[in-house]
Structure 1
Amino acid sequence: MQKTFYQKELLIKATQQRKGANNNKKDIEKIQSWLNLFAMQNPSSGTATGIDGDFGPATEKAVLNFQKANNLAQTGIVDQKVFDILVSPLKKAFTSPISGNNLRELILSAAQNHLKNHPFELVINSQSNTGPWVRSYMDGHEGTDWFWCMGFVQAIIDQAASVQGKNFKTLMPLTYSCDTVGTTGLQKKILTRFQTARTNPALIKPGDIFLIQKTTNDWFHTGIVAKVQGDIIETFEGNTNSDGSHNGNAVMNRIRNFKQSKIDFFSIESLVV
């Protein structure tokens, strides 16, 4: 794989605890982030707490509650073994086996695997687009200005392509920009414009990348095509929400009407062959 930053998110440098001699802010923020992500899926767990890099009594109680919810020894201390359980959704998303008879099926398998592990951004220091999932998709970058929909798309394609020993960067450059991928598609003549796609939906295939136009050569949101049926596409997309925002907070499986929106399609066929 080319995008391997997620590996750094799976580790802490030292055991962290209240008044610990080896405490450090980054590790504590990681722990607090995962306690909050756990709370989103388990709202009665009592693990939601502030993300401030300070292992105080609130964080200690949240850790105790997490340990109780997972039938662990209730110590209030986070060593690497406890952290492994905290970060298990991220590890499963990036390392669990994916299956498929071809690259397109592998891409959809990888996207589905990420989806079921609930990637979600956090707000840290008043900055949206932050947290371990965002950093993993964005190679360590995070913050309000770091829209992560393309980071998600490339992480999925990279993961699938690597199973076949392929490098996704032969198809497009490593980027976080929809415009860069759209421009690359135009240069390589593998971008189907929305007018053509509307009249010939057979050109759209699962595993291809959709790009929503702002203007002719300006795209503002992206995702992966899962299915094409009639006037609609089913998608996997990051940095979105139930309204289909390009600056939402989650990975979602969405439905879009491509005949009522200006959606261009970037073909991955040359990587498939």
Structure 2
Amino acid sequence: MKKTSYLKELTIKSTQKRRGTSNNRKDVMKIQSWLSLYAIQHPSSGTVTAIDGDFGPATEKAVKNYQIEMNLPVSGIVNQEVFSKLCGTMERAFTLSTAETDVRTLVVKAAENHLASFPYELQIKGASNSGPWVRAYMDGHEGSSWYWCMGFAQTIIDQAASTVGKNFKTLFPLTYSCDTVGTKGLEKGLLHRYQKIRKDPSLMKPGDLFLLQKSTYDWTHTGIITAIKDDVIETIEGNTNEAGSRNGIAVMKRTRNFQRSKLDVFSIDPLTLG
């Protein structure tokens, strides 16, 4: 893969514990982040804690609660083995079988794999669009201004393309901007406008990107198309919510009526050839 920032989210430099002499603020924040992410899926676990880089009694207790949940020795200490369990969902999300060779199938499988791993953003120091999942998709960037829907979509395309030895950057540049991808699609003749899509839905296929059009050259949100049926597409989108926001909180599967929405479609056909 070209986008490899996720690897930094899977390791800590040394064992972290209360009053530890080798404690590292960034590593402690990673631990606190993953404990909080675990709590989102397991709200009664008691693992959510402040993400402040201080391995104090609250973090120690949260670690112990996690260790109880996972049937691990209850020490309140996080070594790499414990941390690997904490961030195991991300490692699984970025593991894609090499048995499949069809790029479109790989794109859909990669998107589904990430969806099943529950990527959520966190608020850290009052800033939304933060946490390990956002940094993984956004090449280390995070914070309120870093909308991550395109970062997610490009990560999925990158993962699928690299599995068969292809470079996603031949399709479009690494970017976090829907406008950049939309403009590149127009330049390459790969962007189908919503008016054409409505008349001929066969122009879009699973694995393509939709771009939600605000105006002719302004796109505000994107996601992976996973299925098309009748007037509806099924999608997997980053930085969205139950209302389909472009600045939501998670990766989610959605349905969208392309006959009623201004959904331009970027074809990934060049990655499927040769």
**SS at the partner of 2:94?**
helix
| Deviation beyond 4 Å, 4+ runs, structure 1 | none
1:212 maps to amino acid: L
How big is each residue's C-alpha offset from its partner over 1:165-217, in whole Å with a ceiling of 9 and x where there is no partner?
A: 00000010000000000000000011000000001101011100000011100
Matched with 2:65 is 65
**SS at the partner of 1:82?**
helix
Whether 1:150 and 2:122 are equivalent positions in the alignment is: no
RMSD: 0.9
| C-alpha contact (below 8 Å) 1:14/1:22 kept by paired residues | yes
| C-alpha contact (below 8 Å) 2:101/2:164 kept by paired residues | no
Shift in Å at residue 97 of structure 1?
2.4
Q: TM-score, normalised by structure 2?
A: 0.98
- Tell me, which stretches of 5 or more residues in structure 1 are unaligned? none
* Equivalence map 1:185-204=2 (5 Å): 185-204=185-204
1:187 maps to amino acid: E
Shift in Å at residue 99 of structure 1?
5.4
Whether 1:16 and 2:6 are equivalent positions in the alignment is: no
**SS at the partner of 2:12?**
coil
Matched with 1:84 is 84
**SS at the partner of 1:238?**
strand
| C-alpha contact (below 8 Å) 1:100/1:109 kept by paired residues | no
How big is each residue's C-alpha offset from its partner over 1:133-162, in whole Å with a ceiling of 9 and x where there is no partner?
A: 000000000000000000000100110111
Taking every aligned residue pair, what percent have the same amino acid on both sides? 61
Matched with 2:108 is 108
* Equivalence map 1:102-251=2 (5 Å): 102-251=102-251
Partners of 2:161 and 2:171 in 1: CA distance: 11
Partners of 1:137 and 1:204 in 2: CA distance: 25
Q: TM-score, normalised by structure 1?
A: 0.98
| C-alpha contact (below 8 Å) 2:98/2:164 kept by paired residues | no
1:240 maps to amino acid: T
**SS at the partner of 1:95?**
coil
Partners of 1:93 and 1:100 in 2: CA distance: 16
Aligned length: 273
How big is each residue's C-alpha offset from its partner over 1:18-54, in whole Å with a ceiling of 9 and x where there is no partner?
A: 1110112111100000000111111111101111111
| C-alpha contact (below 8 Å) 1:121/1:129 kept by paired residues | yes
| C-alpha contact (below 8 Å) 2:231/2:258 kept by paired residues | yes
1:99–1:124 Cα change, 3 Å: farther
**SS at the partner of 1:227?**
strand
Query: Which is worse superposed, 92-101 or 258-267?
Result: 92-101
